[in-house]
Amino acid sequence: MTGADLHDYPVDPVGYGCSRPDPAWPAGSGLAVQLSIVVPDAAPDAAPDSVRGAAEAASHGVAAATDSPERGFERARRAGVRRRRSTGYGSRVGIHRLRQLLRQHHLPATWFLAPSLAERLPAFAAGLVADGQEVALLGSAADLAGGQAAIGRLRDRLARVTGTAPVGWRSLSRHPDGRKTLVAAGGFLYDTDAADDDLPYWQLAAGRPLLVLPATPLAGRGAAAMARALARGRAEAPARPQCLRLEVDPDRLGRPDEAEAFAAMLAELASGPDLWVATAAAMARHWGDRFPFTWD
């Protein structure tokens, strides 16, 4: 992995191509699975890091550059912001059910929390860290538009609640210079604002490298779609080692009907000897150790 493989151009149609690396996941696993639980703030008067702030930013054109090759993907992300507008069930009930299921199966996950929500649920947010879960930062294009100082304030707010500074980032909506802002802010191990590969990769932003952990694109957000993706990943893993990063919506998978199917998948994850289930930070550190960024 060299600087020659990377650039600031927003879309790379080649990716790894014929030079696909072997991730050598721990314990000889062919498939790494990362559960990302995305928990926005449903409060209508929340700060700009909430769903409302992200949606308003998108509607005013902050979240996209219309002349970008990514504009089709950006439109999908904007639609995702609208879909992710929480009903309130996820934060009142769903997150607690999901936390209990993870405890039951002794599985790690990464929880992307809006700082405003973490401040409303301080015992829950701190409890996740005590459980051995990772808490990462959930923001928006509006936050990224605020620059390095705005991102630093968000990170400090979340750290005050959890006692641990977040090292990962997830946006509810994209910003054309988002990665440059994250690099400038410093302290981030990885960015998850991508869905374009099944392995992590380095990207240059403002002349500095940042590790990207792409989400696995799914046709649906339910447990059945995730189970199908897991089955395909396991089938391909012996010849094509990869990672499966599944984004979990507590509004949906925290419901009793979906939680039942999700619990069955968690049981499979907990018992699969061919699987490595990890937090996003653990996955990023493994990749960085095995494939450190190098300049030409």
Other Cβ atoms within 10 Å of 232 Cβ, number: 14
Report yes or no: 162 and 121 within 8 Å, Cβ to Cβ: no
Cα separation, 223 vs 105, whole angstroms: 16
Structure tokens at 228: 């199908």
Q: How confident is the model at residue 272 (pLDDT cuts 50, 70, 90)?
A: confident
**Residue 52 CB-density burial (10 A; 0-12 exposed, 13-18 middle, 19+ buried):** buried
Report yes or no: 243 and 23 within 8 Å, Cβ to Cβ: yes
Q: Which residue has the tokens 């700082």?
A: 115
**Domain coordinates of the chain in residue numbers?**
23-290
Kindly state the helix (H) or strand (E) to which residue 105 belongs, with its residue range. Answer: helix 95-105
58 pLDDT more than 60: no
Q: How confident is the model at residue 13, as a pLDDT?
A: 79
| pLDDT tens, position by position, 206-247 | 889 999 999 999 998 899 999 999 999 999 999 999 999 999
CATH number assigned to the domain with residue range 23-290, chosen from the 4 options 1.20.210.10, 3.20.20.370, 3.40.50.2300, 3.30.470.20:
3.20.20.370
161 pLDDT more than 90: yes
Structure tokens at 209: 């490298």
Give this prediction's pTM: 0.84
Kindly state the helix (H) or strand (E) to which residue 145 belongs, with its residue range. Answer: helix 141-145
Structure tokens at 98: 């999901």
**Residue 248 CB-density burial (10 A; 0-12 exposed, 13-18 middle, 19+ buried):** buried
Cα separation, 227 vs 240, whole angstroms: 18
What's at 38, amino acid-wise?
V
Q: Span 39-51, mean pLDDT?
A: 57
Q: How confident is the model at residue 49, as a pLDDT?
A: 38
Helix (H, G, I), strand (E, B) or coil at 35: strand
7 Cα distance to chain centroid: 22
Q: How confident is the model at residue 27 (pLDDT cuts 50, 70, 90)?
A: confident
| pLDDT tens, position by position, 111-154 | 999 999 999 999 999 999 999 999 999 999 999 999 999 999 99
Q: How confident is the model at residue 57, as a pLDDT?
A: 37
| pLDDT tens, position by position, 181-211 | 999 999 999 999 999 999 999 999 888 999 9
Kindly state the helix (H) or strand (E) to which residue 44 belongs, with its residue range. Answer: none
Report yes or no: 38 and 84 within 8 Å, Cβ to Cβ: yes
Cα separation, 135 vs 125, whole angstroms: 8
Higher-pLDDT residue of 95 and 4 is 95
Residues composing the chain: 296
Helix (H, G, I), strand (E, B) or coil at 86: coil
Other Cβ atoms within 10 Å of 39 Cβ, number: 28
Q: Name which of 90, 114, 108 is nearest 34 in CA terms.
A: 108
CA dihedral 268, 271, 132, 229 (to 10 degrees): -30
Residue 242 dihedral angles phi and psi, to the nearest 5°: -160, 180
Sign of dihedral through CA atoms 82, 84, 86, 89?
Answer: positive
The mean of the pLDDT values for the chain is 85
Q: Span 19-28, mean pLDDT?
A: 93
Report yes or no: 127 and 82 within 8 Å, Cβ to Cβ: no
69 pLDDT more than 90: no
